[in-house]
Amino acid sequence: MQLETVGEIVRILRGRRDLEQVELARACGWRDASAVSRIETDRIRPTRRTLVKLANALADENTTGARQDIQAWLFRAAGVLPTADEFQQLSEKLPRIETWGQPAMIMDFGWTLWTANDLAVKMLGLPARYSGRNYLELLFEAPGSVRSHLGDRWELIAASTLMEFRAETDRQADRRWRVKLIARLMSMPDFDHLWEASQPSPRGEVFQRRRYQRGDGAVAMVRLTLTADPRLVLTHIIPEDQAMTRTLLEAGLVLA
């Protein structure tokens, strides 16, 4: 379902259920259709509680899909980040990245890092307690294990990471989670000038593949939205040639 706003999702799913606005309103426990009308035209931002009501009312296995799936799409469109409990509940549906032979991580659209395999932990120098922490805060905190581990490579990696973050989130600049995150980051060393130097992108979506040339070899960074919950994004780093494969093997960052 490639719809961007809560209003679009509700309007399309209500049509699939062949419901009038007043019927959907009553299913949600509201007296009239005015709230549904305002939601469908994106004149108001529904609360989490309202989104849950809408998902319950719109769910139908034969026409619109499961309640959990609709709720996840509504949460994503509304900018509602997953909680630790929600991530834990999804664990059985997520890729088993711990068995993969290359670094891989799963984070949400707000760049909270939820899980990483051992190769990603080693590559980035992630601290033991990283799950549920924002990836950018892990990258910029000083003293920090990530920053110290990356050494001379840190500034280049930080700058390119900010460009990708802005490409994916600038359209959500007024969301509370993003405003609070940027405010926290502004107090961290070097963030302000790298943030000002990074260029916002009109892309506004999770990129699928980028290629990075490093020395004699290259790696591909693949980022994909997960079907288990569209709020979650998988990042997978793959060597693209023999030279890079050999380099990463020698560093213990990929498995043969």
- 169: domain CATH number is 3.30.450.180
- pLDDT value at residue 32: 92
- pLDDT value at residue 245: 85
- pLDDT value at residue 24: 97
Q: Which residues 6+ apart lie within 8 Å of 195 measured at CB?
A: 162, 182, 185, 186
Q: In the predicted model, what is the mean pLDDT of residues 218-247?
A: 90
Residue 52 placed within a domain? yes
Cis peptide before 127 (omega within 30 of 0): no
Number of separate helices (H) and strands (E) present in the chain: 13, 6
Q: Does residue 129 sit in the same domain as residue 72? A: no
Residue 235 placed within a domain? yes
Task: Please determine, for residue 201, whether its predicted confidence score (pLDDT) is greater than 70.
Answer: no
Confidence of residue 246 (pLDDT cuts 50, 70, 90): confident
Residue 255 placed within a domain? no
Domains identified in the chain, total number:
2
- pLDDT value at residue 204: 56
Q: Does residue 48 sit in the same domain as residue 135? A: no
Q: How far apart are the first and last CA of the chain?
A: 37
Q: Which residue has the tokens 């989670």?
A: 177
Q: Answer whether 161's CB lies under 8 Å from 197's CB.
A: no
Q: Does residue 106 sit in the same domain as residue 165? A: yes
Residue 64 placed within a domain? yes
Confidence of residue 205 (pLDDT cuts 50, 70, 90): low
Q: Which residue has the higher pLDDT, 185 or 3?
A: 185
The residue out of 53, 78, 103 marking a domain boundary is 78
CA quadruple 227, 231, 232, 236: dihedral sign: positive
Task: Please determine, for residue 30, whether its predicted confidence score (pLDDT) is greater than 70.
Answer: yes
The boundaries of the domain holding residue 18 are 6-78
Q: What is the pLDDT of residues 70-118, one digit of tens each?
A: 999 999 999 999 999 999 999 999 999 999 999 999 999 999 999 999 9
Q: Does residue 56 sit in the same domain as residue 96? A: no
Q: Which spans in the chain are helix H?
A: 6-16, 21-27, 34-40, 48-58, 67-78, 84-90, 118-124, 135-140, 145-150, 154-169, 176-185, 191-197, 242-250
Q: Does residue 72 sit in the same domain as residue 100? A: no
Ranges 1-15, 20-34, 195-209, 211-225: which has the least confidence: 195-209
Q: Does residue 48 sit in the same domain as residue 108? A: no
Q: Which residue has the higher pLDDT, 134 or 244?
A: 134
Residue 256 placed within a domain? no
